[in-house]
Amino acid sequence: MLHESFPYQTAQMLRAKGKNFHAPEIIAKTGWTTDELQAAINKYKFQPKYDFVSLLIGVNNQYRGSSADVYSKEFESLLKQAITFAGNNTNHVIVLSIPDWGVTPFASGRDNKKIATEIDEFNAINEKISKQYKVQYLGITTGTREAAMDESLLASDKLHPSAKEYKRWATRLTEAILKQLK
């Protein structure tokens, strides 16, 4: 459910802290790669500026076997746009690392170590680029790997994060945003 997603939970947490936040605009869809997100951005009518922008993209690049080089170029382009959307305030752009779907029952019978290695490679890329552009970076991957032992962190499809897992991300995202609002 959309209201259980980490952007919506973040907005609710910020409101609970007395911050006036509107519902988030979510452009990306589950299952998208960087090029699909770019195509949607190209068609979307954006506000002139957003207070905060988060970016989490790449798990499906890895899943579909995209190269790290292609991911790097496309991620950097998306990050530059995210910075523009935040009025060029890099402190108000937050990148979340890619979750590791290789620990889920959906990945049963697949090479989990290879998936983890590739996820780590893609995350090394997005972290390096995030640091280069001086945006905030939240490493959530380690936490997502706990789903191997705790299926309550997974949605009923046994692949995607549950509301409980999204709450963990939202809590960290809320903290990062509140730090910038001080």
What does each of the 182 residues of the chain score in pLDDT, given as a tens digit?
A: 668 999 999 999 999 999 999 999 999 999 999 999 999 999 999 999 999 999 999 999 999 999 999 999 999 999 999 999 999 999 999 999 999 999 999 999 999 999 999 999 999 999 999 999 999 999 999 999 999 999 999 999 999 999 999 999 999 999 999 999 98
Domain contains 176: yes
Residue 22 tokens read as 């509107």
Task: Answer whether residue 94 is part of any domain.
Answer: yes
Domain membership of residue 37 (yes or no) is no
Q: How many domains does the chain have?
A: 1
Per residue in 38-57, pLDDT (tens digit) is 999 999 999 999 999 999 99
In a domain? residue 74? yes
DSSP-assigned states of every residue in 19-58: ---PPPP----TT--HHHHHHHHHH----S--S-EEE---
Decide if 46 is inside a domain.
no
Q: Give the per-residue pLDDT at 132.
A: 98
Q: Is residue 84 one of the residues assigned to a domain?
A: yes
Residue 25 lies in a domain: no
Between CA 27 and CA 162 the distance in angstroms is 20
35 falls within a domain: no
Domain that holds residue 117: 2-18+53-181
The torsion angles phi and psi of 137, rounded to 5 degrees, stand at -135, 125
Q: Write out pLDDT tens, residues 5-43.
A: 999 999 999 999 999 999 999 999 999 999 999 999 999
Would you list the DSSP string of 83-113? HHHTTT-GGGEEEEPPP-GGGSGGGTTS-HH
The predicted structure's pLDDT at residue 116: 97
Assign residue 60 the CATH number of its domain: 3.40.50.1110
pTM of the model: 0.95
Cα–Cα distance measured from residue 133 to residue 130, given in angstroms and rounded to the nearest whole number: 5
Please report the pLDDT score of residue 1 as a whole number. Answer: 64
